[in-house]
Amino acid sequence: MKKIFSNNLLVVNFRRMWPYIKPYWFRALLGVCLTVPVGALDGVVAMFLKPFMDKVMVDKQPHFSAMIPFLIVGFTIVQGILIYSSNYLNTWVAQKITIGVKRRLYGKLLSMDTGYFDRNNSGTILFRYSNDAELASTGLIDNTKQFLSKTFSSISLVGVLLYNSWQLALIAIGVLVVFVYPMSVVRKKMKEIMTKTVGNLSYVMTIYNETFAGNKTIRSFTLEEEFRRRFHEVTDMTFSLAMKLVKGTNWLSPLMHIIMSVGIALVIGCGSYLIVSGKITSGNFVAFIAALMMLYTPLKSVGNNYINIQNSFLAIDRIFDILDLEPNIKDHDTAKELKEIKKGISFEHVHFEYVPGREVLHDINLEIPVGHTVALVGNSGGGKTTISALIPRLYDIQKGVIKIDGSDIRDIRQNSLRKQIAMVFQDNFLFSGTVRENILLGNAQATEETIWKALKSACLDDFVRELPNQLDTQIGERGILLSGGQKQRLAIARAFVKNAPIVILDEATSALDNKSERVVQEALDNLMKNRTVIVIAHRLSTIQNADRIVVINDGRIAEQGTHEELLKKNGAYASLYAMQFKGK
């Protein structure tokens, strides 16, 4: 049956998935081969009905009446054992393939640049990188198993049909040809609907993620009704797409019922004539009808089966769409290692845009010598954070060049570049796990002594010693069990153990109260010693001792100099300073 409408697609998708099947090919082959006798035994069971009808029902031979039921049960038991063994092996192989595909997809996800995550929401990532792998792998194995089982079942049953009456067999097989056209119509409709459905289901996941991560905001702004409305809208769309899929495809099964009834009616009509004319026996006819029903019965649910097949094939298409992606930021073949920084960082006529045609940075020229602290200040959205994100090459610039020790950072391997940089953000991401595990992310080889030294430098050692399990205390997802100041200091400790020569501080104290800020600022001062530092600050009191202060407004450098020099200029920095310290 499936050979009629999915043979080519199955072969193509099997070939694409072969690298993931190859390590388990023997078990996969064995599991699939077991489906061959499972299908072939369908014909054996049908074939027994002829001697039973002719020898028992017509000729009244008693020994056949005792033997045939036992043979049928025996064959069915063998078939059952084969089905169980096949299902076990196929499930084992499918799960292994799923793991392989998920690992490859996750590796691809880790290789994608920051811009990719900016363009895709979390629901899309979760659905396409996880659910599709499950659907594709399991579906491919199940479809292969079903394809072979039904193919050999069909061959054996067609053999039974031909053996009992070639005339009736021609009628039955002729009816099968009618099934081909409806399959092609359904596939075209399904692809469009399923593409929309995947996008919709991805958005459902996004809403769940945002509800989880933003639950405090939802509560504090009383947004429950707004999010309920959004969820109702997206689930209404899910319902609409599901009904559109049913409307566009589920006419297939009723149509198959009609086609089958026509085929069976023709067979009964012609079969009656052949029996009366003596060309076939009653046993031939009963065995033929049994084989025909076994051949036609799977077609009753062809609509649902075909939808599952297409879902699996479309998932494979989506997986390889992802695997064919190339990150916008990647190392070229001659990229070199950055082992140390001797001179510093320079921006030369740098232009940058997140969205084509909307430039964020305009002709930035900036020198950051080794061992110096450079502070970036200015209006919100002016481009300070963007400048800091360009140094570790989280994004690539459109014009100009960023150099470290005279070398374009695009000529340096990304890993070696980022190993030289430690970043502390305003909202640092802590991972679920223990205090120790989060600190070791900075340096997996850090010793116990190094960890405690980092905690002390981050002004967090006393707090950790009071925890129930000290370093091995769980901090919850995203560090939910810690206060804002404790999260910041843990992130600073992580930066300490990394011991990178360049430190980037992106408004690391702006979200803290005065008491927490003082403690965190002390930790930051410790971190900044003997390092090259780029600090983005909203509170000017924290950067007055910087070697140079650079004012960034609307993507341009407005002015730069020391705190005293800029105050004397009475320009943009002096205005900011006056606003913050007015009345103090």
- Domain ranges (residues) in the chain: 2-323, 421-499
Q: How far apart are CA 274 and CA 276, in angstroms?
A: 6
Per the model's pLDDT, the better-predicted residue between 297 and 98 turns out to be 98
Q: How far apart are CA 424 and CA 407, in angstroms?
A: 25
Helix (H, G, I), strand (E, B) or coil at 548: strand
Residue 267 above 50 pLDDT?
yes
Mean pLDDT of 244-256: 71
Dump pLDDT digits (tens) for 489-505.
788 788 878 888 888 88
| Residue in the structure block whose two tokens are 């996004």 | 206
pLDDT given at position 145 = 67
Q: How far apart are CA 386 and CA 393, in angstroms?
A: 10
How far is residue 477 from each of residues 189, 306, 465, measured CA to CA in Å? 42, 41, 21
Output the DSSP codes for 55-82.
IIIIT--HHHHHHHHHHHHHHHHHHHHH
β-partners of residue 474 are: 434
Mean pLDDT of 1-6: 40
Q: How far apart are CA 463 and CA 477, in angstroms?
A: 19
Whether residue 509 contacts residue 539, with contact meaning beta carbons closer than 8 Å, is answered with: yes
pLDDT given at position 456 = 78
Single out the residue of 341, 336, 381 nearest to residue 536, CA to CA: 381
Is the CATH number of domain 2-323 3.40.50.150?
no
Average the pLDDT over each of 124-138, 507-521, 544-558 and give the range with the smallest value.
Answer: 507-521
pLDDT given at position 3 = 40
pLDDT category of residue 216 using cuts at 50, 70 and 90: low
| Statement: the pTM of the whole predicted model exceeds 0.75 | no
Question: In what side-by-side order are the strands of the sheet with 358-369?
Answer: 358-369, 344-355, 399-404, 407-408
Residue 542 above 80 pLDDT?
no
Dump pLDDT digits (tens) for 102-117.
888 888 888 888 888 8
pLDDT given at position 253 = 67
**Residue 196 identity (one-letter amino acid):** K
| CB neighbour list of residue 509: distance below 8 Å, 6 or more residues apart | 488, 516, 517, 520, 521, 524, 537, 539, 542
Assigned token pair, 377: 């200040």
Residue 47 above 70 pLDDT?
no
pLDDT given at position 5 = 40
Backbone angles phi, psi at 367, to 5 degrees: -115, 130
pLDDT given at position 29 = 79
Backbone angles phi, psi at 557, to 5 degrees: -80, 115
Single out the residue of 516, 460, 508 nearest to residue 485, CA to CA: 516
Backbone angles phi, psi at 81, to 5 degrees: -65, -40
Q: How far apart are CA 6 and CA 143, in angstroms?
A: 9
DSSP class of 261: H
Q: Return the top range by mean pLDDT from 25-34, 175-184, 406-415, 534-543.
A: 406-415
The H or E element spanning position 539 is none
Average pLDDT of the chain to the nearest whole number? 76
Backbone angles phi, psi at 180, to 5 degrees: -65, -50
Q: How far apart are CA 519 and CA 498, in angstroms?
A: 21
pLDDT given at position 505 = 81
Per the model's pLDDT, the better-predicted residue between 157 and 330 turns out to be 330
Is the CATH number of domain 421-499 3.40.50.300?
yes
